[in-house]
Chains A and B, each alone.
Chain A
Amino acid sequence: MKNRKTGYEAPLEKISPARKVLGFARDNTVPLMFILICAICIPLSGFSVNYLLAEIVTRISRNSFLILSLLIPIMAGMGLNFGMTLGAMAGEIGLILVSDWQIWGIPGMVLAMIISIPISIGLGVLCGKIMNMAKGREMITGYIMNYFINGIYQLIVLYAMGVVIPIIHSSIILPRGYGIRNTVSLLAMRQSLDNLIAIRINGVKIPVMTFVVIALLCLFIVWFRKTKLGQDMRAVGQDMEVARAAGINVERTRIISIVISTVLAGFGMIIYLQNMGNLSTYTAHSQIGMFCIAALLVGGASVDRATIGNVFLGVTLFHLMFIVAPSAGTALMGDSMIGEYFRVFVSYAVITLALIMYETKKRKASSKAARELALAQKLEEENK
């Protein structure tokens, strides 16, 4: 913060190197904590570097697209909302349908994406409208909305599919004649995108095509920030009233940002599931929102600011912990369940911690003005 103009603020500007380090640590508490946890757990787990690298590469390719879908609503000031989960459901419906039609491979994926688009848009508009009624409480609104839409999703998948929506393939439909089985095998589609162009370096498989798709999305986000719509979203995100006074349609802009997020999340879910190779019909989407948000926060994002860098740092650190925690748990306690328990516990803890830190930071910023006032008075006294 350069400041040549005001006398008052000048003394605050002189920050010693020690305080700078402290400030950096405070601003990046969550990522630093994770680096520490990983540094402790990696030797304990006893995994080889190659194994860890291979796992990390897989998980980055699997999850990044989903996490990137969170960025645009954050830019529009809608915080870490769970709207993306709705998109994930849309993606799943697309995949169920294409597997019933037995269209596999890349064509199957593309078709599933196309099917998911209208569903995602519909859910996104609904979600955006509801969030416009609950401004400032998007996170909890989105979270509760997930339960609501999840109910509708189950109604459709469990009762409507096979009755209203024709489903014929016996490997998908429940023996009773309607409803979808607990798991839908996507074996014929498994890693079709990952394997399209895949190279092996030192035994580590790199799914080049998936990374190309992720890179394209990153480019899209960078470009999107430069568009008029992107600029409007940033304005709306920072101050809705000012944006409204300048003639920006705040509500519409917010809805568009959620729609972009749900559509991208639908694609992301399809990429995620093609890597996994099977779909747990009723649970796949239930925790995905939370894990994505936790990963983003681990990467150093906050409620009102998230970058592409945060996504990749977060996905790496968060999943590194996931990989090493169970074996580290076994090594320490003789029980791998402790690691499993640990990962869920940590996700919630990270989200809680990040939210608390966001609030304290806001409060600190507001008391800064008061400190300046006190300082100005003191300076005046010294000058007398």
Chain B
Amino acid sequence: MEKTNVPLLEMKNVSKSFFGNQVLQDINFKLEAGQVLGLVGENGAGKSTLMKILFGMNVIKETGGYGGDILINGKKVVFETPFDALEAGIGMVHQEFSLIPGFTATENILLNREPQKKSVLSEVFGERLNTLDRKDMDERADGSIDKLGVHIDKELVVNHMPVGHKQFTEIARELSKDNMNILILDEPTAVLTEKEADALLESIRGMAKRGIAVIFITHRLQEILSVCDKVLVMRDGVIVKDTPAADTNVQEITRWMVGRSISGNPSKAAVATAEKERGKVIMSISRLWVDMPGETVRDVSLEVYEGEILGIGGLAGQGKLGIPNGIMGLYEAGGKVVFDGREIALNNPRKCLDSQLAFVSEDRRGVGLLLDESLEWNVSFPAMQIQNKFLKPYLGGLVKWRDEKAIEEVTNKYIKALQIKCTSSKQPAKELSGGNQQKICLAKAFALEPRFLFVSEPTRGIDVGAKSLVLDALKQFNRESGVTVVMISSELEELRSTCDRIAIVSGGKISGILPAVSASEDFGNLMVSNVR
């Protein structure tokens, strides 16, 4: 079917790699005016990168640009900065709010585009001394709120707004730009209540009717089906499906999203351990809430058995990261956590570490490593600090000196065991590659000889070879030392190959726990079950 008019937006063979790591490949799609395009995919599928390219974000240019062409109205465009993209009529509402907290909705909607009145002083000192035309501002804010079709109080200060209204304010800001004809909404409904989400969907339909093309990214597949004309499913940096929304359903999309091979052959080890007898409950979590920005946990109850590897999976922002961070006291949390018969004080990292819990954080550069220090220090520091290991007492324990020899020995032991690539155990941690840094984080936790280990996103940002090494090291550690491991990961396949049981977190809650041998489709369904 050949259309006579050129599409509003077209991407041709767009590709992108970060440091030799191909994250987008061969992206082709077209978008007509007034069309709503639903973009879905697991975390890391490349949705955000694709939108960053389209919006001309600096990050893309800084990492070497992209391949392929973007055409708007048939003309090739290259955006150097987001401002170029804005000029070309692309509006984007990011996941993080970009609002001035002490400004009213009106002021935010017209931020840096305020209508102005000239005065005598501005004639002398330049345009920035124009006074703001409050009346015109109000009118224009009203206009864009009307376009949005959802009522928001334009006098309300952002600080005092419920989250949903902040989201609507952001969208109204994009709508107030007269030339805007492509609107990118990056998970706009994630923070909305059901009613607000419905209002937003209604508003998207309205925009489409006025000829605005909308790219709608969401994890709530039902929304895609109800509002989109076209669905684009991405997986591992390629578009796996481009289909009219009317021809598909939630199950199918889920399968496209998660399914590498739908049959999903979990490793034999996993099958064996699934049938392994369960130990006693070593940690029981009840009614846990965690206030971790972007990873809020609500009312989680969970039991972990001694000696098992429990996986926690789920989509980004659903709260899976909040669980270990909350229990280990890095973010404010409430509820009750009992470890080995004793309750653990929350909001107190030291208490957790004292009860022989250890945590390998997903934020390895921020929380995990002392980047400027040597590997020896990184491996031994927590053990020294918490358990007085690697210390030699002098003067009857009055003075403790570091036992450099023991530190070197243990570091070299782990360098060998985990195949860490480095020049020596004295090398600063920051000089190592991401994968090797991750291994140092693990070594650090292993050196503590914990009874219970949280590992958060152990394979994030490391290459395939390093991945399997890290996972094998974890499995070995679990098997040989009998340590209970809770592993949090966005990659379902990785969890399925490593864990005994997998809990899926959705909307801050545990939506189900399945043995690792279950079909990926079942996990997929759990992942999207109560996304909010």
| Interface SS majority for chain A | helix
18 contacts between A and B (CB under 8 A): A2-B160, A3-B160, A5-B165, A6-B162, A227-B122, A228-B129, A231-B107, A238-B102, A242-B99, A242-B111, A245-B98, A246-B98, A247-B112, A367-B332, A369-B291, A370-B334, A377-B287, A380-B299
Given contacts A6-B162, A228-B129, contact A238 B101 (CB under 8 A): yes
Complex: how many Å from CA A1 to CA B160?
7
Given contacts A5-B165, A228-B129, contact A247 B98 (CB under 8 A): no
Known: A229-B129, A234-B100, A246-B111. 11 other contacts (CB 8 A): A227-B132, A228-B131, A232-B112, A239-B99, A239-B101, A245-B82, A245-B98, A369-B291, A370-B333, A377-B287, A377-B298
Given contacts A5-B165, A247-B83, contact A239 B100 (CB under 8 A): yes
Kindly provide the distance from the CB of A174 to the nearest chain B CB, expressed in whole angstroms. Answer: 41
Pairwise interchain contact A374-B334, C-beta atoms closer than 8 A = yes
- Interface range on chain A (Cβ under 8 Å from partner): 20 to 34
Residues of B near A245 (CB, < 8 A) are 82, 98
B377 adjacent to chain A (CB < 8 Å): no
Residue of B nearest to A239 (CB): B100
A-B contact count (CB 8 A): 86
Interface centre among A228, A232, A376, A377 (most CB of B within 10 A): A228
Contact of B112 among A235, A238, A374 (CB under 8 A): A235
B382 adjacent to chain A (CB < 8 Å): no
Interface string of A238-266 (1 = CB under 8 A from B): 11011101111000000000000000000
Contact of B103 among A226, A235, A248, A370 (CB under 8 A): A235
Pairwise interchain contact A227-B102, C-beta atoms closer than 8 A = no
Q: Which 8 A-B pairs have the closest CB atoms?
A: A370-B291, A229-B128, A370-B332, A246-B112, A6-B162, A246-B111, A5-B162, A374-B334
Complex: how many Å from CA A369 to CA B191?
14
Residues of B near A369 (CB, < 8 A) are 291
Residues of B near A226 (CB, < 8 A) are 131-132
Which parts of A343-384 form the interface with B (CB within 8 Å)?
A: 367, 369-370, 373-374, 376-377, 380
Residues of A near B431 (CB, < 8 A) are none
Residues on B facing A (Cβ under 8 Å) = 82-83, 98-103, 107, 111-114, 116, 122, 127-132, 160, 162, 164-165, 287, 289, 291, 296, 298-299, 332-334
A223 adjacent to chain B (CB < 8 Å): yes
Pairwise interchain contact B103-A238, C-beta atoms closer than 8 A = yes
Residues of A near B128 (CB, < 8 A) are 227-229, 232
Pairwise interchain contact B114-A231, C-beta atoms closer than 8 A = yes
Residue of B nearest to A229 (CB): B128
Residues of B near A374 (CB, < 8 A) are 289, 334
Residue of A nearest to B116 (CB): A228
Residue of A nearest to B81 (CB): A247
Residues of B near A231 (CB, < 8 A) are 107, 114, 132
Complex: how many Å from CA A376 to CA B532?
15
Complex: how many Å from CA A36 to CA B354?
48
Residues of A near B160 (CB, < 8 A) are 1-3
